[in-house]
Amino acid sequence: MTSWNPQRPTGPGHLYLALADALAEDIESGALQPGERLPTHRALARALAVNIGTITRAYAEARARGLIDGEVGRGSFVRHAAARPAPAATEGPAPDRRLDLSVNSPAGGPDREACAAALREIAGRPDLSSCFDAYVPAGLERHRAAGVRWLTRAGVEADTDRVLITGGAQHAMAVGFAALGGPGDGVLTEALTYPGLKSLAGLLRLRLHGVELDAQGIVPEALEQAARRTRARFLYLVPNLHNPTGAILAEERRRAVAEIARRHDLVIVEDDSHGFLLPKPANPAPIATFAPERTLFIASLSKPLCAGLRIAYLLAPRPAGEWMPRLVAASSAIAWMGAPLMAELATQWIEDGTAARVSAAKRTEITARRRLADSLLAAPGRALGTPSAETSATLWLELDEPWRASEFVARCRARGVGVSAPDVFAVQRSHAPHAVRLCIGTPRTRDDLREALTIVAQVLRAGPAPVSVV
């Protein structure tokens, strides 16, 4: 492993971008040679005294620029020059925030007055002190009751003794894996998966195994084979509007997944962070409906309401007495408990109908934005080829030959638009197709989205640079 140890950047701007720039400079100067293995996320974070998430984002940015390759279990390596995009393709400005399609944070949410009104009402409550004085690891009873209401909207049967208040979906995932597994345990997941899972796997020393997926989601036959071969402990899935492809897992497959998990004693972690975008009641029943005795169901409020509302509801399997003590203990060890004052705000918005109205408005907006994307990106004479459903906030754009994803990402970035490379999501490098993820819900307005997608369409139709093809 290389001893690469850059100076911690001190200038303005995001630290992870500065670290990616430092990595690019050292590769260009020859200080880092092709094929060299980079320090682990943990080792570099410790050396620079930064959060491990900063290193994860820096390495992801370097992969998006085509500078390095990475694979869970093997590490990150400097790419050979022939495999990197042409230098001219990487020049140009970083994406303007309003044209950044790489971050999945659907626009909209409670406006300033709605936020102020909710906070005023909370401030006037006689029992407000309970949000400051009490230490209730699982969450206050009224907050868990609001969680039951939100979970019921997602289609699962819930009761308060199985609800744990957490500081967002990532916290909930960490609680589940830490409480019910240990170092070396295997986690089965889609071959393309949520990057936060990859970060957690590295932190908790879990072994990720990518399972084949198609336009309808994870393939049950491949899951059966992987479960038999790996003897994994967990199965992590995003069945509703899968991240990054936007696919919806059909109910028939959900039933099959539940039976496979039962046969192989898998603990299912079902992430429903995007489920609010599906029209009710036509969306398929959650996997938790078919395997309630082994499914941890996660419903976050960050995407349905606003990114800063770091509250998620973790629903434990049945019976509660068998699972909740371990989950509560893990939550306490990681973060003591979900922040009660933030949970109070979430409760207020669930009870007064704000949460339902905002999530419905976001669903309507995403549908309109998807139609806009189709009109701008579809090739003449044929529809846009993507598994992403009509209400998906992410668009999985498959690239025709001779495009390579790394060059496409770099070309878009040079024009001021950020898009996500496939290796950010790939569990193994061999699973990274030539495709990119576009977060169509993130730009503040449809005009901003139109501008960003127009640039993406221009890059797409111009084709890759000839030297890149050679």
Bridge partners (DSSP) of residue 163 are: 315
Interatomic CA distance for residues 157 and 203, integer angstroms = 32
Question: Are the C-beta atoms of 95 and 417 separated by less than 8 Å?
Answer: yes
How far is the C-alpha of 161 from the C-alpha of 148, rounded, in Å? 10
Q: Is 458 exposed, middle or buried (CB count within 10 Å of its CB: 0-12, 13-18, 19+)?
A: middle
Length of the chain: 470
Contact call for residues 143 and 117 (beta carbons, < 8 A): no
Q: Where are the alpha helices (DSSP H) in 49-140?
A: 52-64, 87-90, 112-123, 130-133
pLDDT value of residue 89: 40
Q: How far apart are CA 408 and CA 64, in angstroms?
A: 10
**Could you tell me the domains of the chain?**
15-84 (1.10.10.10), 97-104+356-469 (3.90.1150.10), 112-352 (3.40.640.10)
Round to whole Å and give the CA distance between 3 and 283: 51
- Give the integer Cα–Cα distance in Å for 439 and 104: 5
3-class secondary-structure state, position 158: coil
Beta partners for 186? Answer: 207
Comparing C-alpha atoms, which of 110, 117, 114, 128 is closest to residue 344? Answer: 128
Q: How many CB atoms lie within 10 A of CB 371?
A: 11
Q: CA–CA separation, 57 vs 102, rounded Å?
A: 12
- Nearest in space to 218 (alpha carbons), one of 185, 188, 173, 262: 188
Q: DSSP 3-state assignment of 164?
A: strand
Coil, helix or strand at residue 373: helix
CB neighbours (10 Å) of residue 395?
Answer: 27
pLDDT for res 211: 96
pTM of the model: 0.80
Pairwise CA distance, residues 237 & 271, whole Å: 6
**pLDDT reported for residue 469:** 45
CA dihedral 285, 185, 211, 238 (to 10 degrees): 30
C-alpha–C-alpha distance, residues 169 and 111, integer Å: 23
Of 419, 88, 96, 77, residue with least CA distance to 244: 419
Regions of the chain short of the pLDDT cut 70? 1-3, 11-13, 71-73, 80-95, 97, 282, 380-383, 430-431, 466-470
Q: How many of the other CB atoms lie within 10 Å of CB of 300?
A: 26
Q: Are 311 and 342 in contact (CB under 8 A)?
A: yes
Residues in CB range of 127: below 8 A, 6 or more apart: none
With contact defined as beta carbons under 8 Å apart, do 421 and 249 qualify?
no
For the CA atoms of 433, 420, 384, 470, the dihedral, rounded to the nearest 10 degrees, stands at -50
